[in-house]
Amino acid sequence: MEPILLIVSSWWWIGPAAVGAGAATYAGMTTRNRRARRLELDAARAEESQAYRDLVAARARLRTAQADLLTAKSRSSVPPAHAADARRELQAARQDEKTASLALRASRTRVKAGYAQYRAASSHDPLPIDRLYAAHDSVNTRWLAYETDVDKALTYPQMTDPRHPATVVFLRAQREALVKRPTLRDRVTPQQFLEYRVAVRHLEATFAEAERQSGVPGAPRPSSAGATAAAGLTAAAAVLSEIADRLPALIARIPPPRTNEPPAGRVP
């Protein structure tokens, strides 16, 4: 009996140590799993913070451009070319401020969507990084079909021609996506996730454009509505800015009313 008591008194700490190590391991695995499932939400929050900083910088640029234009107008010795440059800078600053404001609104919407998706996700759903891996691998698989399928290679030779402009752009996007692809899926940071997501989206867009220019049936057609609307907004902003700049001069040209004449329509 005494040897047993001696052994127990000497090695009693093994049990609590083993339990503590197991608990720490389980807590670490649970934390990593939760962080991996929250990765898209954390990336959206980081994108929102960056969009807010960009908006602050755009507003500071807008104030500086307004001050420079007022300074150019107030000094008669300033050449007209400098005033025109200041006016163009003000128009560009206004457009950048509007773009940054819209980007911030879009990032806040993505944060709300990411939070709702995170709350609705279950343990059986794929992780956000796994979804990006799948999208990346899907594009590579579709492109390899043009390399391995003889019929596709003969029908659409531009898809494998490195001299074709659209194919060159796609190959560059493919290389960039491969560089941005994280190797350790359990240790991906929100910034790495953002950069990889941008690379994968660019890869998908360039592949679709390469297929469109090669004449592949079912390839998406580019929409010029967004570019037309943006051009229209830019032109309208330029016209309004020009009117706002000329309004004080037009008001100054209006002659003041004469006090010694009776009002119109009244006989003295």
Q: What is the pLDDT of residues 37-74, one digit of tens each?
A: 888 889 889 989 999 999 999 999 999 999 988 888 88
Single out the residue of 146, 145, 140 nearest to residue 175, CA to CA: 140
Local confidence band at 258 (pLDDT 50, 70, 90 cut-offs) = low
Between 9 and 214, the higher pLDDT residue: 214
| Start-to-end Cα distance in the chain | 133
Q: Confidence class of residue 222 from pLDDT cuts 50, 70 and 90?
A: low
15 vs 138: which has the higher pLDDT: 138
pLDDT value for 244:
47
Residue 220 predicted with pLDDT over 60 = yes
Contact criterion met (CB below 8 Å) for 237 and 95: yes
Look at 264 and 6; give whichever has higher pLDDT: 6
pLDDT at 92: 93
pLDDT-based confidence at 134, cuts 50/70/90? very high
SS3 call for 125:
coil
pLDDT band at 221 (very low <50, low <70, confident <90, very high): low
Structure tokens at 250: 């037009």
Cα(160)–Cα(144) distance, integer angstroms? 9
Closest CA to 159 of 142, 176, 175: 142
Taking all residues of the chain, what is their mean pLDDT, rounded to a whole number? 77
pLDDT at 233: 42
**Can you give the residue ranges of every domain in the chain?**
32-122, 126-216
Q: How far apart are CA 58 and CA 103, in angstroms?
A: 12
- The pLDDT of 95-112, averaged and rounded, is 92
Whether the predicted pLDDT of 266 surpasses 80: no
70 or 253, higher pLDDT: 70
The larger pLDDT score, comparing residue 247 to residue 173, is at: 173
Least confident of 72-76, 165-169, 240-244, 254-258: 240-244
How buried is residue 98: exposed, middle or buried, by Cβ count under 10 Å (0-12/13-18/19+)?
middle
Q: Is the pLDDT of residue 140 over 60?
A: yes
